[in-house]
Amino acid sequence: MLKLTNTLTGNQEEFEPQDGQTVRMYTCGPTVYNFAHIGNLRTFVFEDILRRHLSSKWKIKHVMNITDIDDKIINRSIETGEDIKSYTAKYTAAFFEDSAKLRIQKPEIIAPATDHIDDMIDLVDRLLATGYAYREGDSIYYRISRFPNYGRLSRLDRRELKVGARIDADEYEKEEPRDFVLWKAPKDPREPRWPAPFGEGRPGWHLECSAMAMRYLGETLDLHCGAVDLVFPHHENEIAQSEAVTGHTFVRFWVHGEHLLVDGEKMSKSKGNFYTLRDLLEKGYDPLTIRYLLLSMSYRKQLNFTFEKLKESQAALDRIKEFLFRLRTANLKPGRDPDLAARLVAARQEFEASLDDDLNTSGALGAIFVFIKEANEALETGRLDEQNRAEITDWFKVIDDRLAIIPPMEHPVQDDKEVEEIEALIERRNEARRNRNFALADQIKQELLNRGVVIEDTREGTRWRRK
């Protein structure tokens, strides 16, 4: 039974899709005005793990929006002289490139805001008709005083909202300072705008998620995710907009991912600790190592990103790779060692139970590494048999479906001549070692490494593989 922490109640609750079959899930997507930073990407990796785990139990219909219209995008596109479509297209493409490098699966439906303006206009129309929205100047606002549940998700006191909070950073007149904008009249002649019955303009940011979530997933979603900083005001406003027109619960489970810190501090350009995925790849880090680090901590906890931890992540992935290499190439006797088989069953249960426990990824990784240690010992003492190998290989396929952290195994070398050369070098190295000429042995090992060949000395002799 899967348990998730529901922000709406603050409790861990048992999750099941409302129809028992298909999970209807919505995640807030990127605002495509720049490259995604690793804090953003942590959220998308967490949502990917959740998606993969849900998919192991039920069908899934996952919708993600692309915010391709907002103040920042408009300002940048005016500065650069590009229209917003071409300005945002390159960052949308970059986002999916980065996601693919991090092995993040694509949602079933990707919904760019500018392709759904009609749905948003329709929603504003309905909010106007029911008195939840009002006109002020040429813009349309949401009347928060009409919606008594406002603040429930973020547990904000209503009075607190009234006096202090700046809910929307726009400069228009409003009935109350906390009301938020639904439809903005253009201020600058160069701004993009759409015609609407209530006057031309463009949607406020919160509107798109309500309109597109309900369009594709119906009035009540099973699951809505995002980073914690979206709880207020974004998700609070989504609830207000959606429930005002439907009268039903908009989302059954709100699940929010915690922040990422870098070296213990909030990431910021001025502190010089701001990284996009591209920055890290340029420094020579592998995307899989970055994925591993991003998922190594439960989504409910802040993750402190450091370069030391990247190194540890690389070492952890190397342990997996070394183990799978040994497993694949070992000469095994037929049969099935019952003790090791029982250990495998226990490890698989521990892995599933950890993920079911509010997506405890660190617990799931723990189960993998405890088992690797046991299996390595079994290999060394001849207690891992052919049937064990088949069962372990199956489990690692499951792990890769669920966490997508299994390093690629190298392709076998095709060229016989090259194989001969490599094996001749290994033989020379072994001879050098027998003669205790370790300097020469190391030199040959380095030569092999330079050719992209890694060697490993085992009980059964020296094995080699492509790096």
* Residues near Zn ion (CB under 5 A): 28, 209
Distance of CA 368 to the CA centre of its chain: 21
Nearer to Zn ion, 2 or 225 (CB): 225
Nearer to Zn ion, 66 or 290 (CB): 66
Q: Which positions ≥6 away from 282 have C-beta within 8 Å?
A: none
* Minimal distance, residue 214 CB to Zn ion, in Å: 12
Nearer to Zn ion, 209 or 340 (CB): 209
Nearer to Zn ion, 28 or 262 (CB): 28
Nearer to Zn ion, 204 or 297 (CB): 204
Angle between helices 386-403 and 307-329 (to 10 degrees): 150
Distance of CA 278 to the CA centre of its chain: 16
* Minimal distance, residue 397 CB to Zn ion, in Å: 34
* Minimal distance, residue 234 CB to Zn ion, in Å: 6
Nearer to Zn ion, 28 or 425 (CB): 28
* Minimal distance, residue 77 CB to Zn ion, in Å: 21
Nearer to Zn ion, 182 or 209 (CB): 209
Q: Is residue 352 packed enough to be buried (19+ CB in 10 Å), middle (13-18) or exposed (0-12)? A: middle
Nearer to Zn ion, 252 or 465 (CB): 252
Tokens of 317: 């992935």
Tokens of 163: 């006096």
* Minimal distance, residue 65 CB to Zn ion, in Å: 6
* Minimal distance, residue 9 CB to Zn ion, in Å: 20
H or E, element range at 345:
helix 338-356
- Among left, alpha and beta (phi > 0; psi -120 to 50; other), residue 420 is alpha
* Minimal distance, residue 213 CB to Zn ion, in Å: 8
Say how far apart CA 160 and CA 419 lie, in whole Å: 73
Nearer to Zn ion, 156 or 209 (CB): 209
Say how far apart CA 323 and CA 288 lie, in whole Å: 17
Output the CA angle 79-84-90, nearest 5 degrees.
Answer: 95
41-44 contacts: CB < 8 A, separation 24 or more?
A: 41/98, 41/99, 41/102, 41/277, 41/290, 41/294, 42/257, 42/260, 42/294, 42/303, 43/225, 43/226, 43/227, 43/257, 44/99, 44/102, 44/104
Output the 3-class SS for 432-463.
HHHCCCHHHHHHHHHHHHHCCEEEEEECCEEE
* Minimal distance, residue 127 CB to Zn ion, in Å: 17
Say how far apart CA 456 and CA 466 lie, in whole Å: 11
* Minimal distance, residue 326 CB to Zn ion, in Å: 46
